Amino acid sequence: MSTLYVVATPIGNLNDMSPRAIETLKSVSLIAAEDTRVTRKLTAHFGIEAHLVSCHQHNERSRAPEIIQRMLQEDISVAVVTDAGTPAISDPGTEIVRLAAENGIPVLAVAGPSAFAAAVSVSGFDFSSFTFYGFLPRNPGELKEKLLRIGRQSEGAVFHESPHRVKALVAAIAETLPEARLSVSCDLTKLHELTLRGTPQEILSALEANEKSEKGEYCLVADLRQVKLPEEKPAVSASLEARLFDLLMQGASMRDAMSALVEQGEKKNAVYAASLHVKQWIE
């Protein structure tokens, strides 16, 4: 009977490749790989000769059905791997797993390396619970809003970040969640593995002082138990038009009333459209 194996591969140290993972990759008829060039180096190192096919974030929706169809028609077993770590955790794999399960194909985990688990294990933070968020938004406004929500909702949080954006992320954390404690790991399991621990500002200073900080992938663990944030204001249910009109009745000019709503977080385009409606009412 065909089986889909979700196989974890090393995140930096080839010695972390488990005997079961090697045996599984040797036994399957097909390996669905995030990048066949990267996986081919791995299979060559361990003498694995299975056929490789690409299955990455840009083609998984179309490639996964093709693979599942072959599994059903040819009764073959397939392994899904990514460039490093465990598939389907901030990496491709979710779609093919979902389709396999929907079609009655057994899905088995071949456990192994995972960057976020490794980062939490060396953080020194004793969490009763934490939340894995993967990659956060790139837009500064969206990032700040997301961090504030995380600070209110989570005791601990784990993020992935690229080397070129890690300083921007830590700076945003320093601005929005200054009381947080961070453990920032880079090049986990590799020869020059590095973990920085401290306040967001201390971590930011260390990254800025490190000429090689823009190399290697990062995993950040945040202890948020000491974070203090003001309570969220209840959502305003009144329409923008009603709120503008109320400010006008209080003596504000239309421009000042519009500016006040924008400062409260409303979008400029929406406020402008509301101002046109109010002007029509007044006229």
The DSSP annotation for 149-161 comes to: HHHHH-SEEEEEE
Strand partners, 108: 5
Is the pTM here over 0.85, yes or no?
no
Q: Is 218 helix (H, G, I), strand (E, B) or coil?
A: strand
- Is the distance from CB of 194 to CB of 187 less than 8 angstroms? yes
Delineate the domains of the chain, giving CATH numbers in brackets: 4-113 (3.40.1010.10), 116-223 (3.30.950.10), 240-282 (no CATH)
Quote the pLDDT of residue 233. 55
Assigned token pair, 13:
């140290």
Using alpha carbons, list the distances in angstroms from residue 176 to 143, 161, 201, 234: 10, 18, 11, 20
Per-position pLDDT tens, the chain of length 283: 899 999 999 999 999 999 999 999 999 999 999 999 999 999 999 999 989 999 999 999 999 999 999 999 999 999 999 999 999 998 999 999 999 999 999 999 999 999 999 999 999 999 889 999 999 999 999 999 999 999 999 999 999 999 999 999 999 999 999 999 999 999 999 999 999 999 999 999 999 999 889 888 999 999 999 999 876 654 545 788 989 888 988 888 999 999 888 888 888 999 999 999 888 888 7
